[in-house]
Chain A
Amino acid sequence: MSARLFAVWCPDWPVVAAVRDAGGDPVAPAAVFAANRVLACSERARRSGVRRGMRRREAQGRCPELVVREHDPARDARLFEPVAAAVESLAPGVEVVRPGLVAVPARGPAGYFGSERAAAERLVDAVAGAGVECQVGIADGLFAAALAARRGAVVDPGRSRQFLAPLRVEELDQPEGADRSGLVDLLRRLGIRALGEFAALSRGDVETRFGADAVLAHRAASGQELRPAGRRRPAPDLAVSQELDPPVERVDAAAFAARALAESLHSRLAERGLACVRLGVEACTDDGQQRHRTWRCAEPLTPSGTADRVRWQLDGWLAGAQRPGAGVRSLVLRPEEVVSAGGLQLDLVRSATGESDDRANRSFARVQGMLGPDAVLTGVLGGGRDVWEQVRFVRWGDERRPDGDPQQPWPGRVPPPSPTVVPEVPWPAEVLDVEGRPVVVGQRHRLSGEPCRVVVEGGRSREVVAWSGPWPVAERWWRDAGRVPDPRPRVAVRMQVVLAGAGSGAASGEAESGDPGETGQSGEDGADEVALLLVHEEGEWRIRGAYR
C-alpha cells in the first residue's frame, strides 16, 4: 500500500516562470524552447496548435505572436521556491518532484483541515497567495497523484490502479523522470495501449525483456510507490551567533571572537557534510546599528578563511570612515549558500602541495587583513586589443572571471612580446620628427613624419633607433558616446619605439621615474636600448608600456 499523497501541479510551469521572470504579459501565447523544440507552452499557444516537441519555426508558423523563451532550469527552480514554501506553510514534508510539481503526504493536512477536499482547497488558496495557479490531485502513490492533479481528480484510497488502467501508456513518459519514449513506442508497437494492459504483464517478464527502468514504469503503472520519498524539509538554521559582553570596539578583540565563531560554524556545517561558498556577516552595535555584508568565494571557505573574512569585515566597519558610535554587541555568521563538502577535499595529487597552498593563502589573507581586501590582487587574463585591456585585476580569493574571451581573435592586437611594465597612469611623452616638430597623427591614421626623438616627461629625450607601427585601432565607433556612456568609442594609434642608449641624452636611466621598478637603478643601464609602447589618443602621445 503506497502512501496517500497530495500532488500540487502548476500547469506549464516553465512558461509561467519564464513570463514572470521577464515580466511579460501572462496571458500572451508563450512557449519555452530547449534545443529549438517546444518544451512547454501556454494555454493560448496550445489553442493555436502549438504542441510539445514542435520546432520553433513550426510553432511560430502556427502562432505568429508566440513569445519565445529559452529554457532555464535554474530560473524554474528559483521562482518555484515561493510555491514550495506556500505549500510547506500548510503541510510539512514537502517533496519537490520538479519545479512545477510538489508532493506532500495527505494524512496530516487531511486530518487537520477535516477532509482531503478541504485541505486541497486550502492548498490551492495558499499557492494562489503566492500568485500562481495550481491544481491538486489526491491519490495513492506519486505517479497516480501527479496524473490525478493534471485532471483535478481525487482518487479513492486503494483505487489508484483502477484510476490508471484506462490511461494511455504515453503517460509513463513524464518530464521529471528518465526518457521513456523508447519504452512507450515499443509498448505501443506491441499492442499495449493502456497503462492497465502494461500493469497486467508479470513483473519478471517486464524486467527480463525491457530492463530496470521498465520495472519502475511497471510499478508506476500498477499504482505502487516508485521510490521511498526523499522529503524536502525546511532548511536547518545554520547561522551561528555570539553575544559580546562587554561590547567590542577593537578589531583584534572582535577578531578573536570571530575565530571561535568561525570554528563553531564550520563544525556545524561539517556535521551536515556541507561547505559554505557564500557567507553573510552581520554585526549589531550597542547603539542599535545593524551592518550586513555578504562574502562570495570561488572556493568553499575553510575555518581560517571564514575567520579572516569576518575579521576584514569588522576591520572595515570598526576602522573605516563610517565607524559606528558604539562597540559591536553581537555577531552573526549566516551561510547563504552551501555546497556539499566534497568540494573541500584535496585530491591525492594536489594534497602534496596542499599545505603550502594553505600557508600562502594564509599569508595573503593576513596582508588583506592589514591593508584591506582590495590590497592583494591577482591578474586574470582575458581578451582585448591592448595589454591593459587583457588583464583584469580581481581581489585575491574572488572568482577569477576574465573580461573578454581570450579565445576570440581580437584583430589589431600588438603582437607579443608584451610590455613588462604597464603603468597604471600612462606617462605623457612627446614624439618629435627630424626637424624637431611634434609628430601628429593625421587623417587615415598617418604620421606627419618619421619619429626621430622621444621626449619623456621631465624634458629628457632619446633618439629613436627603430620604430614600428603605427597600428590604428578604432573600437565601438558605431556607438554614440553621448547616449551610451560606457564603454566609450575609442580611436587610438599604437607605435613601438626603440630608443638609443643614453650616450646622447642629458640624463639617462631614470627617464621613467614614475615607475618604482626603476628606483635603485644605476646610470650604467643607460647604455641599453629602451623599448616603449606609445599610444596616441585624444591628441597626445602617452607611454602605455615599457619593455624592460
Chain B
Amino acid sequence: MSARTSLAALDGVTTADGVALDAPSAAGAAGGAPAAGRVLPAREELAAVLPWPGLRRGSTVAVRGSVALLFALLARATADGSWAAAVGLPGLGVVAAAESGVEVSRLALVPHPGDQPQSVVAALLDGVDLVVVGGSWADSDARRLSARARHRGAVLLPLGSWPGADVELRCSGARWRGAGRGDGHLREREVTVRAEGRGAAARPRSCRLLLPGRGGAPTAAEQRPALRAVAG
C-alpha cells in the first residue's frame, strides 16, 4: 500500500485525487487520458457510498449481488447523455432499468460476446462511458481491462467480484415489502449498500436504500415511525 492510499484511509484526509475531481484540464494537460479524473453524475442516494461525487472516469466499480444497484448507478449518467453498454449479461431487465431511471436508448446490450469477450470489452471501453461486464474473468484479463478503462477514461462496472476494483459495492440484508400472503405486490426492497475499496474508497461506507423503491426508482430509506394505535 502506498503512502497516499494509507493517508486516504485516515478520516478527514483529502488526497490529491479528491482535488483532481473538479479539475479535468489538469489531467488532460498532464498527458493522461483526456477524460480521466472527471466524474460522471450518479444519483444523490448513492453519494453516501461512493468515494467521489459520482462515478469517476477511469475507475472500476464492482457491483455485487444486485442488478438493481447497477441500474441505479447507470441512471443519472445515461439520462445526462452518457453511453452505456452491458456485455455478457443475457436477460437484463430493460423495463426495470427504465423504471430506475436509465435511458435505455443509450444502453447497448452485448448479451453473448463470443469466445473473445475481452476484446469486445476493450473495444467498448474505447468509446463508451460506462461498460458493465458480467461473467467470470481471469485475473490477468480483469487487471488489463481495468487498466484500459483507466487509460480511456471509461467507467468499468463488473457485476461480481473483480480483482482490480477501485470500489466494491455490496448489497446485503435485503428485506422486501409489499407482498403478503397472496395479497399486495412487491413494492420496495430495503437493502444495506456497503462500499469497500482502495485509495479514496478505503474507508468503508454504508447506507440503507430502497432499491427498488416505489415505482422502481431507488430512494433513500427513511426511518419509518413505528405503528401507533389510533383511537377508534
Contacts and interface: CB of A to CB of B under 8 A. Distances in A.
Interface of A: 353, 356-357, 359-364, 366-367, 370-371, 375-381, 387, 390-391, 393, 396, 400, 414-424, 447, 450, 466-470, 496-498, 515-517, 519-522, 524-525, 527-531, 545, 547-548
Contacts of A529: 174-176, 189
Interface in B69-127: 71, 81-83, 85, 88-100, 104-105, 107-114, 116, 119-120, 123-124, 126-127
A417 B120 contact: no
- Interface of B, secondary structure class, is mixed
Contact of A356 (B129, B176, B183): B129
Contacts of B183: 468
B65 interface: yes
B67 interface: yes
A359 B127 contact: yes
Contacts of B90: 423-424, 515-516
B91 A522 contact: no
- Interface of A, secondary structure class, is mixed
Listed from nearest, the 3 A-B pairs whose CB atoms lie closest are A520-B160, A363-B127, A379-B94
B225 interface: no
A268 B128 CA distance: 31
Given A521-B64, A528-B171, 12 more contacts: A356-B81, A364-B85, A367-B110, A370-B120, A370-B123, A371-B110, A375-B110, A377-B108, A416-B215, A424-B91, A519-B136, A531-B189
B54 interface: no
B173 interface: yes
B95 A390 contact: yes
Interface of B: 64-68, 71, 81-83, 85, 88-100, 104-105, 107-114, 116, 119-120, 123-124, 126-129, 134-136, 159-161, 171-176, 178-189, 191, 212-213, 215-216
A414 B124 CA distance: 35
A450 B65 contact: no
7 contacts: A370-B116, A375-B113, A381-B98, A387-B95, A420-B97, A422-B92, A529-B175
Contacts of B191: 528
A175 B74 CA distance: 54
Given A356-B83, A379-B94, A379-B107, A522 B161 contact: yes
A379 B109 contact: yes
A396 B108 CA distance: 7
Nearest to B190: A529
B111 A371 contact: no
A387 B108 CA distance: 18
Contacts of A422: 91-95
A420 B176 contact: no
Nearest to B84: A360
Nearest to B92: A421
Q: Taking each of B67, B107, B111, B213, which has the highest tally of chain A beta carbons within 10 Å of its own beta carbon?
A: B67
Contacts of A517: 67, 89, 91-92, 134, 159-160
A261 B23 CA distance: 43
A209 B186 CA distance: 71
A494 to B, nearest CB: 10
A28 to B, nearest CB: 47
Contacts of A421: 67, 91-93
B127 A498 contact: no
Nearest to A363: B127
A548 B95 contact: no
